[in-house]
Structure 1
Amino acid sequence: MDDLKHLSKESLSELLVIGQQLKIAALSLKKGGLNIVGECLKGQGDFYELSHYPQDDVYDAESKSQYYFHAHRGINGEYGHFHTFMRAPGMHASAKPIKNTSTEPWPSGNDALSHLVCISMNQEGVPIGLFTTNRWVTGEAWYRAEDVVPMIDQFEVDHAFPNLAVNLWISAMFRFYKSEIAELIVSRDEVIGEWQSKYLERDVFEDRDLEIASFKTIDVDQKIIAIQRALDA
């Protein structure tokens, strides 16, 4: 939480409000015997690894933000994770994917979406980590970090499917962890570059040996406490 020391009192106060919004969204579900993950799985039939929940993803037609939940990894304490995206029409005008020199096709035009970050969840529907992935994992077009980082501010889903509280929660996660997500995206590019230099004969974006590019554990409650302490100081 060292980065909090460099924030103004106004910025810290804004972060504290967002953290409280995260808690309220999760609590509103908990009071009804629900949780963030459960609302994405509701009414979707049997749960299968790699399947998207809800089916056909959650998409905001105004912001062009998109996400889905699924499970396929066995990292310690994780039940599954959210994949989040920005579709091309929602990006700032200067954002352009890099040239595809791979043998695998990349989505193009309005379909040239960019993956932003994964939100790792535990069995209780509590966020425990953030991470970025290699291109092949999500089948995205690849944008450089300097184009992806500004998309953090653009991500927002505020309609009622599958649940308004879930959508407000995941949107608030982007505000609350903006600096952490930005660092992970920058680190992602550094890891990709290092991997490409080390394995010149491989197509780095299709290399199954490189799946997770950057990872950070998170704890909403602990960050709220740290923000409050920084404000008190």
Structure 2
Amino acid sequence: MFDAETMLDRVVAGEMPVDRVDAGLAALDEWVAIHQALAGDDQNVLTELFRDHRESGFGYWEHFPADDAYDPRTGARFYYHAHDPAEWEHREHGHFHLFLPASNEAGFAHVIAVSMTPDGRPQRLFTTNEWVTGEQVVPAAALLERLPAGFEINRARPSWLVGRWLTALVALVMPQVEALLLARDEALTEADGAWPAPAVVADRTRHVLSECELDMPEVITAWGRYAEGLEPG
């Protein structure tokens, strides 16, 4: 298990760029508003995602939506994988895969995956090996210079709220995203410095390259405390 530093420590220590701090503060308000809206209808992110598909259901391990949720302005995209309950581990209902366009190329680059509990709570972040999603793997530094601003989803379908929720999530957990992408790159580096390591990329037994637990109430509380410290008086 990869241990990421806490968000508040990174912010207070001045180790996050100003634009990331500003994005996190803006995302805090949106995150809280989305959760209040969902809670008001006794819903969560997953019931919202599948709200138009409760009768027909969905195929386990299939992309949802089938053609991915794609933002034509930013090129960011996501899809969700639901797991067969018989295969659940750690109460994992499924996970979101989040992508940016591959730098200067056609195709897409995987940023992070978000593991979800059956009651719609994010519980873990992880990165995957290149073959898992068929991405064009992009170095961490090239992805990080485009985040969080580059990951923005504004689509009415399958759910505008879920797209905004994921957009806010990325901004709020950038310290973890940074640490996980750097750890992923380390796992993909040969002893002689060659990257990505062919033996690792070809290893079908290695799905996950870095991961950390995620306690979003703790993250939100920390951002809230930081925001309160900025208020005059």
- TM-score over 0.5 (shorter chain): yes
C-alpha root-mean-square deviation of aligned residues, in Å?
A: 2.7
8 Å Cα contact 1:12/1:227 also seen in 2: no
Task: Note closer, same or farther for the CA distance 1:35–1:229 as it changes in structure 2 (3 Å cut).
Answer: closer
- Using CA pairs below 8 Å that are at least 6 residues apart, which structure has the higher relative contact order? 2
Letter in 2 for 1:60: D
Q: Structure 1: where are the runs of 5+ without partners? A: 89-94, 97-108
Equivalent in the alignment of 2:119: 124
State the TM-score, normalized to the length of structure 2: 0.79
CA shift at 1:142, angstroms? 1.4
Q: Deviations over 1:138-186 (max 9, x none)?
A: 0011111111222323010122212221111110111111121111101
Task: Note closer, same or farther for the CA distance 1:17–1:143 as it changes in structure 2 (3 Å cut).
Answer: closer
Identity of paired residues, percent? Answer: 28
User: What SS class does the counterpart of residue 189 from structure 2 fall into?
Assistant: helix
Question: Separation in 2 of the partners of 1:43 and 1:12?
Answer: 35
CA shift at 1:12, angstroms? 6.1
Equivalent in the alignment of 1:62: 73
2:221 to 222, 225, 230: 225
Q: Structure 2: where are the runs of 5+ without partners? A: 1-5
1:79 to 71, 75, 93: 93
State the TM-score, normalized to the length of structure 1: 0.79
CA shift at 1:114, angstroms? 0.4
Question: Separation in 2 of the partners of 1:12 and 1:135?
Answer: 30
How many residues are treated as equivalent by the alignment? 210
8 Å Cα contact 2:130/2:136 also seen in 1: yes
Question: Separation in 2 of the partners of 1:78 and 1:113?
Answer: 25
Task: Note closer, same or farther for the CA distance 1:13–1:137 as it changes in structure 2 (3 Å cut).
Answer: closer
8 Å Cα contact 1:29/1:165 also seen in 2: no
CA shift at 1:52, angstroms? 0.9
Whether 1:23 aligns to 2:32 is yes
8 Å Cα contact 2:60/2:81 also seen in 1: yes
